[in-house]
A and B are shown apart, each in its own frame.
Chain A
Amino acid sequence: MTDKETMDRGKDDSIDPYMSKFIREMNAGTVSLVLLAVLEQADRPLYGYEIARMLETLSTELAQVKQGTLYPVLRSMERSGLLESHVEPSVSGPPRKYYSVTETGRDGMERWKTVWGEIRDFVDAVLEGVNLDQVD
């Protein structure tokens, strides 16, 4: 069995390439907000695997993000000053990088939430139907 087949195994047949592209793009847009929210709500710093597991239990099978793609986003958010991290050795395997939200991150979170709310309302409104009379 190749890696590709391993990956495809157990997947719903209804997910065609275009569908998975759509899911990937939707996830790419929201992943920073989701990561920031998880870390802000946590009462202690979390390391990559913990965060990935947490999201896995929350999300549905369709919205599943490939967890390997979370790590580079975490690093990038750290570089932007939204997160900070420290490394602690673990009992087995490589030392773990623990992330927590900075003050800047908390401030950003508040504003991102507003933006997210607006985008969600906008998309919902469009999905529920555009009244053509209102558009000139």
Chain B
Amino acid sequence: MRKEVFEQLKRELPLIGAMFLILLIIIKFIFAKEELFVVLRAVAGIFWIIVIPGYFIMFYWSQELKFFERFIIGICAGTAVIGLLSYYIGLAGIHIKYHIYLLPVVLIGGGIAIGFYPKINTKI
């Protein structure tokens, strides 16, 4: 099981990396007036804050759902989880400037850990 999960990560992470690069090139193309570094930071920012945490949130269902389905819903799931957590831990006293490091790391780590959690039965 663990080996399968690891193999899946090995297959899918390069695809996400490739999507990042293609998106970077295309966004630079459509935002022609912008400097490359600004575009790079913007695309990296979106991937870091929303896309990658979303991918790992959805990773638990990697056997049941196809990659692109998980990827797209992951953007929404990442947004909802990051948004909710940022709101509540902000109220708890942790300044938002730390959330950009803390939350993606926690969600990526949590996603990997839960992904490795053995699923005896994928149904309810």
A and B assemble together: no
